[in-house]
Each structure stands twice: as C-alpha cells, then as structure tokens.
Amino acid sequence: STANAPEDDAPNRYSRTDRTTYSRYSRDANSSGSSIPSNALEKRIEELERELAKERQENARLVKMTQDKEELIGKLREEIDLLNR
C-alpha cells in the first residue's frame, strides 16, 4: 500500500505554519525553562488526533483498495487459466 503514496510528500504534509508553530513551542519551552501552556498542548493534541483519524481512514481505504485489486487479479488469473485450457 505504500507504493501508492509518494514518500517525498511526507515532509510537505504539514504546512509551514504548523512546523513553525511547533518549533516555536519547542524553542520557548527549552530556552525559558517554562512549560508550554496546557491549552496550547491540548489544541496541538486535538490537531494531531484529528490528523491521526484522517490517516487511519486513508490507511483503511488503501487496504480495502489493495484487497479489492488482489481479488480482481485472482479472478483474472483464473479466467486466463480457463482460456488457456
């Protein structure tokens, strides 16, 4: 199923703003020694959970598509065998 998804797109999946925001949170937490505000963390967790749900849905769709294609391949092979006889 990974053959259908170009791996080069993975770094571009997140917008520049998301990456910048995440980097800013990491920098702020590391430089000041204070923790990230919990509401910001909660927002980020919610975003990641939504993204995870989308990715799982896409994964399930790709698995189903792969199974359907494998089933079709099996049927076509049987038909080819019958035609060859």
Instruction: Give the 3-state DSSP-derived string for 6-23, with helices as H, strands as E and coil as C.
Output: CHHHHHHCCCHHHHHHHH
pLDDT band per the 50, 70, 90 thresholds, residue 1: very low
Tens of pLDDT, residue by residue over 5-47, are: 444 455 555 555 555 555 555 555 555 555 678 899 999 999 9
More confident residue, 61 or 24: 61
More confident residue, 58 or 35: 58
Whole-model pTM above 0.75?
A: no
